[in-house]
Amino acid sequence: MRVNKKYSCLPAEEKGIHIINIRAIEDIGYDQHESTLLNSLSKNPDADCKYGLYFRDGKRKVDYILVYHYKKSSAGKTLARRAQQNDASVRSSKQDQPLPGKGVQLEMGDSEPHLDYHEDDKRFRREEYEGNLVEAGLELERDEDTKIHGIGFVKIHAPWNVLCREAEFLKLKMPTKKMYQINQTHGLLKKINSVIQKITEPIQPKVAEHKPQTVKRLSYPFSREKQHLFDLSDKDSFFDSKTRSTIVYEILKRTTCTKAKYSMGITSLLANGVYSAAYPLHDGDYEGENVEPNDRKLLCEEWASYGVFYKYQPIDLVRKYFGEKIGLYFAWLGVYTQMLIPASIVGIIVFLYGCATVDENIPSMEMCDQRNNITMCPLCDKTCSYWKMSSACATARASHLFDNPATVFFSVFMALWAATFMEHWKRKQMRLNYRWDLTGFEEEEDHPRAEYEAKVLEKSLRKEHKHKEKHGYFPEETANKWRQRVKTVMAGVKLTDKEKLTWKDRFPAYLTNFVGIIFMVGLTFAIVFGVIIYRISTAAALAISSTPSGRSSVRVTVTATAVIINLVVIIILDEVYGCIARWLTQIEVPKTDKNFEERLIFKAFLLKFVNAYTPIFYVAFFKGRFVGRPGDYVYIFHSFRMEECAPGGCLMELCIQLSIIMLGKQLIQNNLFEIGIPKMKKFIRYLKLKRRRSLDHEEHMKKKQRYEVDYNLEPFAGLTPEYMEMIIQFGFVTLFVASFPLAPLFALLNNIIEIRLDAKKFVTELRRPVAVRAKDIGIWYNILRGIGKLAVIINAFVISFTSDFIPRLVYLYMYSENGTMHGFVNHTLSSFNVSDFQAGTAPNDPLDLGYEVQICRYKDYREPPWSENKYDISKDFWAVLAARLAFVIVFQNLVMFMSEFVDWIIPDIPKDISQQIHKEKVLMVEVFMREEQGKLQMLETWKDKDKRKGENCNNHSPRLSRSRSGSLSSCHSYPLDV
């Protein structure tokens, strides 16, 4: 029978054998034939170990996998290996023995070249690191006999004693034997809850974890001294697979290899290519016949399927399988998607109100009335002629759909919605913290990153070198050798505890960050400016068109093409800025992974925010503001005239810009990229493996092990991209919602697909990530609050400056003769005498409309040409501006106050949860008090026994004084022995 005992928990010194170099009995040279015979008679060993989920003994579960590359030996090397195996029946404990499956020392002269230095160095470091893992208590097993040639796998198992030790170190809360009743609602609330449960039963996932619980186990940080408190009836399932992999990963991070002149954890070894991958295993297959039930299969059926898009997410099962951090992301995404439902309904109502009242809107009716015969000034110099305002009728009617009094109400509603959403999430987060036993959890400082340790090591060596130079001692090695020594110096001492990187060390990186971010923001502005030039030049070119239809559709054509260009540029720059943000964060060398992630998120969000919203900000607040007037226009490069807004205002164009960028970004970047790129990468990996696969039929037909299948999956890259796309979408929903009330609806439709798409990706496309404990969503919450505050300000400015809401109010209450909006369009237009055109700017064809034009109109508040101060800004302009600024101040303060009131009135912690947390504390105190009382009773019993024994000793005869004294001494020592 084949025995795989490559790694043993016994010290190597006791056996005189190098524990790392023993793979199996046949590797030493014994029992080759017996092993082959027994293996041929026994059943498939892969089935015994459930195809890689267990060690070959079928009992020890695989908790983690390390993957490495090795150079495959040729046929000639096998003979050399066999010869060496026969000579090495009793191996010494030297470190230079070859690993099984690796290259061996040359015994064939020139027939086989020696492995290069780098391969030997990696092998040496792997041997030492794996030996240190064994010393830490882990059990390892190697497999190089796989279908993926040139790749070896190290399977890691954490035995019970190691799990208990690490659970105590990590202060993991585990369920105790004590169970208590969860407070239930009574009376009317109970009936309402029961009705809601019956109504929502069809949309609940069919998983045990999602059913409402009436009892809960009391949880307490695990302690080996108090194991009697915990339910250890089934030790195999007490620590689930997520917890086991977390424990193993913590050991991998803190275990170093120092004998190879490196002090490295698993992150450094991965970065240096010693190992190519490290990951926990999935629970099994999720599809196919005869698949055993497992959590992965259940998640695939009840969560990662588009057919269950209408159901709630099984968040507790997601947390059980992937950990708290990923569970919180999907919980937040679910809450955000649910909150979009009322916002979408209100947005649809506002849009329908605009559709219903478009025929009753007096300003748009006046613009469409051809009897008014309003002649407008040319939109460009020379090539453009005069035009009728009625030709912009369609644009004016469409503008009313989004520019009506209901949009103001919707802006206020969305500001309060954002505040309510944040409060609702905080309460949901507290419920999850209670349910997942995260109350009282505090994140401890993480291990220093490998790059930080290397930088600190380099700094300490530089100090040492300067110190030696100062005292007149010059080392023999050259500068190049000294640089090499920085990389290969003997370590093992935690220099990060003695040395730290100061702001002076990081100043060049900070300067690079500042300059780089300014350059990237400037690049975004330059691209937007380039698109503006394109719009102006294209509009002038299309105006020369000989066809009337071409001239009439100039504005729509220019707007649509410019927005598509902006969309393409945004998608490309998003990818570029993501890489640049990561590089800028890397050169800062943050100390921990948490610091690295927070700095990366800040930079990436800043760059992507500017990239996504700069074109929209331009249309909302800058387009048409610095145009000038006929006869005195503002020019770019002395040839391109600044573009103007349409007669109905820029709000319609802002709506087009926002809708195309939002929908295009969601469809192309968020969905097609997330589906297409992983599929393409998986297909490329499949082709590479197929090309490298052996032609051996038996090898080809062999079923892959679980760790081989998972190795072909895409590695988990973190939650930052997932959060980022949702935060940018949240900005589209809240920042400019006054111009596009349907934004929440499109976001809702996208998120329904996004949840299932992300779920499918996590379950089927990605390697299983290491579970990370977290009690909140981190820096993303602060970003969401910041966007919510900014949304109030931006919507106030959009309503007051971009829309015509304020000018209409001013006209209605200050200038209207009959209290209606009749005459509003004429009030907003100024007059211009065509004889005042600058030389060379008048239309080439002044009779294009069929008659001679003497006075044309343009949208502005200016004095008429017959006034003493002709073309100066009129008093009406200042009245409207004052009203706009007053509206911004009132709107901003009112909505901010209402948001803060909502924040204050809704408690962060639900009342029932705070009661349950208090109840848990009381119950835990009771448990310990009972335990202490039991100990006291036991001590009292011992004291009574001791007293009775003492009395019996005093009743002995004087003849036995010696034995009595001995008995007395033993009696008095009895409690101490106990």
Is the separation of the CB atoms in 647 and 392 below 8 Å? yes
Measure the CA–CA gap between 733 and 418, rounded to whole angstroms.
10
Percent of the chain with pLDDT over 90: 20
**Top-confidence range, 453-467, 698-712, 784-798, 948-962:** 784-798
pLDDT at 77 over 60: no
pLDDT confidence of residue 12: 36
Alpha helices in 357-474 (DSSP H): 362-368, 393-402, 405-435, 450-470
Nearest Cα to Cα of residue 314 among 204, 389, 235: 204
pLDDT at 969 over 70: no
Measure the CA–CA gap between 254 and 447, rounded to whole angstroms.
8
Bridge partners of 153?
Answer: 67, 143
Least confident of 122-136, 198-212, 673-687, 869-883: 673-687
Measure the CA–CA gap between 705 and 65, rounded to whole angstroms.
12
> Which tokens go with 212?
């409402």
Nearest Cα to Cα of residue 658 among 484, 529, 794: 794
**Strand 151-157 to 139-143 pairing:** antiparallel
Is the separation of the CB atoms in 449 and 591 below 8 Å? yes
pTM for the whole thing? 0.82
Is the separation of the CB atoms in 596 and 573 below 8 Å? no
Rounded to an integer, the average pLDDT of 890-918 is: 87
Q: Position of tokens 């110190």?
A: 467
pLDDT at 403 over 90: no
Q: Which residues contact 34 (CB under 8 A, 6 or more apart)?
A: none
Q: Which residues contact 631 (CB under 8 A, 6 or more apart)?
A: 832, 836, 837, 838, 841, 871
Greater confidence (667 vs 530) lies with: 530
pLDDT confidence of residue 50: 62
* 448: helix, strand or coil: coil
**Top-confidence range, 95-109, 141-155, 266-280, 362-376:** 266-280
Is the separation of the CB atoms in 28 and 89 below 8 Å? yes
Alpha helices in 184-265 (DSSP H): 188-200, 235-238, 241-254
Q: For residue 145, give the DSSP letter.
A: -
Q: Position of tokens 């090499």?
A: 484
Backbone angles phi, psi at 276, to 5 degrees: -95, -20
Bridge partners of 858?
Answer: 830
Measure the CA–CA gap between 334 and 374, rounded to whole angstroms.
53
CB atoms within 10 A of CB 330: 22
Is the separation of the CB atoms in 264 and 257 below 8 Å? yes
Rounded to an integer, the average pLDDT of 561-582 is: 89
Confidence tier at 278 by pLDDT (50, 70, 90): very high
Least confident of 12-16, 163-167, 237-241, 280-284: 12-16
Rounded to an integer, the average pLDDT of 76-90 is: 36
Q: Which residues contact 248 (CB under 8 A, 6 or more apart)?
A: 63, 64, 138, 156, 158, 280
Q: For residue 29, give the DSSP letter.
A: T
pLDDT confidence of residue 421: 93
Q: Which residues contact 470 (CB under 8 A, 6 or more apart)?
A: none
Q: What is the pLDDT of residues 476-490, one digit of tens each?
A: 444 444 444 444 443
Confidence tier at 392 by pLDDT (50, 70, 90): confident
Least confident of 108-117, 530-539, 773-782: 108-117
**Full DSSP string of 665-697:** IIIIIIIIHHHHHHHHHHHHHHHHHHHHS---H
Is the separation of the CB atoms in 438 and 775 below 8 Å? yes
C-alpha radius of gyration, the chain, whole number:
38
Least confident of 47-56, 195-204, 244-253, 351-360: 47-56
**Top-confidence range, 12-21, 266-275, 684-693:** 266-275
Rounded to an integer, the average pLDDT of 662-683 is: 77
pLDDT confidence of residue 682: 72
Measure the CA–CA gap between 378 and 857, rounded to whole angstroms.
9
Measure the CA–CA gap between 587 and 571, rounded to whole angstroms.
25
pLDDT at 90 over 70: no
Alpha helices in 102-231 (DSSP H): 117-135, 160-170, 188-200
> Which tokens go with 459?
């700094």
Measure the CA–CA gap between 423 and 339, rounded to whole angstroms.
11
Rounded to an integer, the average pLDDT of 574-592 is: 89
pLDDT at 137 over 70: yes
Confidence tier at 347 by pLDDT (50, 70, 90): very high
pLDDT confidence of residue 752: 92
For residue 518, the Cα-to-chain-centroid distance in whole angstroms is: 25
> Which tokens go with 300?
């695939």
Is the separation of the CB atoms in 45 and 56 below 8 Å? yes
Q: What is the pLDDT of residues 106-124, one digit of tens each?
A: 333 333 444 567 788 888 8
Is the separation of the CB atoms in 253 and 265 below 8 Å? yes
Rounded to an integer, the average pLDDT of 460-475 is: 70
Least confident of 23-27, 389-393, 576-580: 23-27
Measure the CA–CA gap between 310 and 318, rounded to whole angstroms.
17
Query: Which residue type does 347 have?
Result: G
Is the separation of the CB atoms in 240 and 320 below 8 Å? yes
Average pLDDT, the chain: 78
Percent of the chain with pLDDT over 70: 79
Measure the CA–CA gap between 850 and 696, rounded to whole angstroms.
87
pLDDT at 98 over 50: no
Q: Helices then strands (H, E): number in the chain?
A: 36, 14
